[in-house]
Every structure is written in C-alpha cells, then in structure tokens.
C-alpha cells in the first residue's frame, strides 16, 4: 500500500517570521493526522528555523530546489549536502524553474541524481503546457520528461513524482480528478514498462495544480492519485489542514 502524501510548496512566499508563524498555526492540527505523509517546503532561508519547530514532529521538511554540485564557486546556489543536514525532501524540476530559470531535462536529471546521492527524497515535477494539452500531446510530453529526468536512475524507492499540468498551476483551473487519474495511470504504466510492475506499484505519484480544500476529495477518491503538491492553499493553515484531513479520510487505512 502506498502511503498518501500531501506536500505544501510555499514558493517564494513568507519571510522568516511569517514562516515561523504559519508553522506554529498549522502544526497542532497537522501532527495528530495519521496515515498521511505531511511535508512542508518553505523558502531556503526559513529551513533552519522550521527544522527546529519540527523537531520530533511527524511533519517533515522539504526544500523547493537545489543545485546539483556538492560545493564550489557557484555563487548564490544551495547544494545537496547543505540540504541533507536540514531536510528530507526536495522538489526538483518544478515548472516555474523550467519556465523562468531555464531548467532543462538534463539539469533536472543531474539534480535528481545529486539528491539521491545524499539520501534526499526528490519530488520530481512533470506536466504539460496548455497548448500541448489542447493538441493531444500530454502523454508524449510527460513520458518524454520522465525519460530525460530519470536517465541513469535505477532505484526509484525514494522518488515521488508530481504530475502538475502547467495550465492548472496557480490558475484556479484544476484538472478533473478523472483526467488527472488517467494521466497518472499512464505515468505508472510507463514506469512499469521501464522498471517493472512492483516498482511502479510502490511509486507514489501525486497531483498538483490548484488543489484546494474544495476539490481535494475529488482527487483523493481516484485510485492512481497518491496525494497532492499544494501551492497557494498551503499558505493558509486552515486550508492546508483541511486538505490533509480529507486525504486521511478518503485514503486512510
Ligand atoms: P498551486 O501550485 O496549488 O498554487 O496551483 C501548485 C504547485 O505549483 O506545486
């Protein structure tokens, strides 16, 4: 059985003091919810303070990005080794990174390899653009992204895949549960062909793109969807809590 996961991607939101306040607001509600992996991904600068607040907590910490080199003259970058001391998860290849910061499939692949090397759990984001969706290219795009991102990677046991159609991110226009389930099913099928059925069966594939407390249950009722990567709604303690609670109710054992 795959344990469902809800991860909050705070993006470039919250100052240090705001991050601390938000964690304090959501933690008492989040902690007692069983059978769902709960992860929050604040900005880099807040990771040490949030790590302190999460000490001994079942709620885990993730980063939103990293560079693939371990150290050196890369001004302004954050390395896998730095993150490994602070958190367990790292989002890799988010569409905003691909779109605004020129991340290619090759870079994403190097980052996944580097994250795995230091035992971080990468949350690999893939997803199609609106025009690709409208011209029937979704499957080709996501399987192409999978192929380039996972080149040379044999062990998927620590990987999580987030299917995030780009047209659904931050737009209030989520995919339907049924359609997201179908694409995630295709992704799983593709993984099964490459890596074998049991690896595909154990791999967590979550949905992202305008997930809110109002549509969570629709997504979580789908058998292929193992949770959600939540942007905007993860910045509101009540919303995020409701998303995690509903996930536990629908998927919980
Ligand atoms: P959103 O973002 O929930 O605000 O659409 C999701 C994401 O970018 O991970």
Measuring CA to CA, which residue among 59, 74, 155 is closest to residue 115?
Answer: 155
User: What number is the average pLDDT over the span 129-150?
Assistant: 96
User: What number is the average pLDDT over the span 135-164?
Assistant: 97
Residue 229: the pLDDT is 98
Task: Say whether 134 is catalytic.
Answer: no
d(CA 174, CA 160): 20
Locate the DSSP E strands across the chain: 5-9, 37-41, 60-63, 89-92, 121-126, 160-163, 204-208, 227-230
Residue 253 has pLDDT above 80, yes or no: no
Residue 219 has pLDDT above 80, yes or no: yes
Q: What are phi and psi of 181, to 5 degrees?
A: -60, -40
Question: Sorting pLDDT into bands at 50, 70 and 90, what band is 252?
Answer: confident
169 lines ligand 1 (CB under 6 A): yes
d(CA 144, CA 29): 39
Atom of ligand 1 nearest to the CA of 174: 5
Residue 100 has pLDDT above 80, yes or no: yes
- Spatial neighbors of 79 by CB under 8 A, at least 6 apart, are 66, 67, 69, 70, 71
d(CA 253, CA 245): 13
Q: Which of 89, 169, 210, 242 to mutate to test the pocket of ligand 1 (most atoms within 8 A of CB)?
A: 169
Query: How far, in Å, from the CA of 250 to the mean position of ligand 1?
Result: 21
Question: Sorting pLDDT into bands at 50, 70 and 90, what band is 1?
Answer: confident
- Please provide the average confidence, as pLDDT, over all residues in the chain: 97
Task: Say whether 164 is catalytic.
Answer: yes
For tokens 């536990």, name the residue: 248
9 lines ligand 1 (CB under 6 A): yes
b/e sequence 197-236, b meaning 16+ C-beta within 10 Å = eebbeebbbbbbbbbbbebbebbbebebbbbbbbbbbbbb
Q: What is the pLDDT of residues 41-73, one digit of tens each?
A: 999 999 999 999 999 999 999 999 999 999 999
d(CA 133, CA 85): 39
**Cβ proximity of 13 and 235 under 8 Å:** yes
pTM: 0.97
Q: What percent of the chain has pLDDT over 90?
A: 98
């Amino acid at each position: 059985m795959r344990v469902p996961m809800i991860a909050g991607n705070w993006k470039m939101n919250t100052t240090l003091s705001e991050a601390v306040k938000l964690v304090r607001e959501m933690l008492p509600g989040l902690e007692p919810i069983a059978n769902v992996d709960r992860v929050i991904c604040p900005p880099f600068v807040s990771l040490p303070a949030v790590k302190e607040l999460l000490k001994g907590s079942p709620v885990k910490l993730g980063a939103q990005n990293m560079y693939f080199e371990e150290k050196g003259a890369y001004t302004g970058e954050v390395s896998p080794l730095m993150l490994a001391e602070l958190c367990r998860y790292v989002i890799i290849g988010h569409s905003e990174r691909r779109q605004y910061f020129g991340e290619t499939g090759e870079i994403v692949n190097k980052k996944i390899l580097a994250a795995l090397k230091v035992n971080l759990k990468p949350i690999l984001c893939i997803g199609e653009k609106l025009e690709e969706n409208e011209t029937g290219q979704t499957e080709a795009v996501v399987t192409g992204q999978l192929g380039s991102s996972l080149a040379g990677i044999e062990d998927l046991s620590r990987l999580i895949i987030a299917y995030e159609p780009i047209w659904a991110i931050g737009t209030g226009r989520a995919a339907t549960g049924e359609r997201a389930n179908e694409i995630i099913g295709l992704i799983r099928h593709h993984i099964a062909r490459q890596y074998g059925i049991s690896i595909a069966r154990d791999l967590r594939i979550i949905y992202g793109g305008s997930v809110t407390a109002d549509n969570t249950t629709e997504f979580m009722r789908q058998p292929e969807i193992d949770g959600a990567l939540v942007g905007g709604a993860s910045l509101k303690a009540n919303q995020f809590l409701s998303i995690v609670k509903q996930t536990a109710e629908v998927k919980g054992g």
